[in-house]
Amino acid sequence: SSKPPKIDKSRVPEVKEEDIEEKFIRGWGPGGQSINKTSSAVYLRHIPTGITVKCQKHRAQHQNRKEARLLLQVKWDEVLNGEDSVVAQQKRLLEAKSVKRMSKAKKRRQLQAEWKQSLRND
């Protein structure tokens, strides 16, 4: 089949590190080696827009920090670009694909019905 239509990512805003306020839960005391906690939740606030995200999916704080930045970018893209956001474009693509699949199946059923009918006619 032909190449899949591309998603337009040109409008996705760039999240600058200096525009992010990052928070963690760690508790008090000297920290470092003297603490062993499994909580690695990351909270980000995008200062210019006020958008906040939280990520605690991963066991590694490093991975939560990376994912939180991605989530922030996705959220900002949706707020900023609405219909033109990457998420909205992907949704439309999936809907178009399923409509195409449905009409293909419908067409196939129609052809099969016609074939069966022609067999009965013979």
Beta carbon of residue 73, minimum distance to other proteins (angstroms, whole number): 19
When the beta carbons of 31 and 82 are compared against other proteins, the nearer one is 31
Q: Does the footprint of other proteins cover residue 38 (CB under 8 A)?
A: yes
When the beta carbons of 12 and 66 are compared against other proteins, the nearer one is 66
Site for other proteins in 65-94 (CB under 8 A): none
Please state, in angstroms and rounded to a whole number, the distance separating the CA atoms of residues 61 and 46. 19
When the beta carbons of 32 and 82 are compared against other proteins, the nearer one is 32
Using the contact rule CB under 8 A, the part of the chain among 1-9, 29-37, 92-100, 107-115 near other proteins is 29-37
Three-class SS string for 61-83?
Answer: HHHHHHHHHHHHHHHHHHHHHHH
Residues whose CB falls within 8 Å of the CB of residue 69, separated by 6 or more in sequence, listed in order: 15, 20, 44
Helices (H), the chain: 61-81, 86-121
Say whether 2 sits in a helix, a strand or coil. coil
Using the contact rule CB under 8 A, the part of the chain among 35-43, 75-83, 87-95, 98-106 near other proteins is 35-43
Q: What are phi and psi of 96, to 5 degrees?
A: -60, -40
Q: Which residues bind other proteins (CB under 8 A)?
A: 22, 24, 26, 29-40, 57-63
